A = this chain, B = another copy of it.
């Protein structure tokens, strides 16, 4: 089970330092506004975690984030990662992507189009996809039931193209 993830929608411009700094500033401001609204503070650790998520080009698990951040800040604690991820989810800046095993992964949601995920149960690859028509009919169902949606989770589990090519029958 190779934890590599295919990503088709992560912003390419984030690789260029100048644009990245600009992007970071704008996202940080959004975060800080949400924090301020609740009397919370922007700390070095919270900024580091947000920056790591923005620089990532794939979906990250808590432990990947922790180990990666620990290299440049050996004192950082796992509890802070959990706490900050939860804050970022409440802000709408980050979303959770469940995997078939119990370990969730996370992705930056800000400035990225809405999409859902196909998760390969064999190699763990996460394929992002968009289907505007699907979303439209989903919205119709929600309206028919008098429901007000806050978020949704639409994950398809199966075998990816490459795993099928490698071993046509599972």
Binding site for B on A (CB under 8 A): 98, 118, 120-121, 127, 129-131, 133-134, 137-138, 140-142, 144-161, 164
Knowing A131-B141, A137-B133, A145-B129, the reply to whether A157 touches B152 (Cβ < 8 A) is yes
A134 touching B141, Cβ below 8 Å: yes
- Min Cβ gap A99→B in Å is 11
Q: Which of B131, B141, B146, B149 contacts A138 (CB 8 A)?
A: B131
A145 vs B154: C-alpha distance in the bound complex, in angstroms?
A: 16
Ranked 7 nearest A-B pairs via Cβ:
A146-B161, A134-B137, A149-B158, A152-B156, A133-B137, A150-B158, A131-B141
A145 touching B157, Cβ below 8 Å: no
B140 touching A161, Cβ below 8 Å: no
Contacts of A140 in B (CB 8 A): 131
Contacts of A118 in B (CB 8 A): 142, 145, 147, 149
A134 vs B136: C-alpha distance in the bound complex, in angstroms?
A: 8
A138 touching B150, Cβ below 8 Å: no
A148 touching B142, Cβ below 8 Å: no
Besides A129-B145, A145-B160, A151-B157, 10 more A-B contacts (Cβ < 8 Å) are A118-B149, A127-B145, A134-B137, A138-B156, A145-B161, A146-B160, A152-B154, A152-B156, A153-B153, A153-B157
A160 vs B133: C-alpha distance in the bound complex, in angstroms?
A: 24
Knowing A118-B142, A152-B154, the reply to whether A160 touches B147 (Cβ < 8 A) is yes
29 contacts between A and B (CB under 8 A): A98-B153, A118-B142, A118-B145, A118-B147, A120-B147, A127-B145, A130-B141, A133-B133, A133-B137, A134-B138, A142-B158, A145-B160, A145-B161, A146-B161, A147-B158, A147-B160, A148-B158, A148-B159, A149-B156, A149-B157, A150-B157, A150-B158, A150-B159, A151-B156, A151-B157, A152-B156, A153-B154, A153-B157, A154-B154
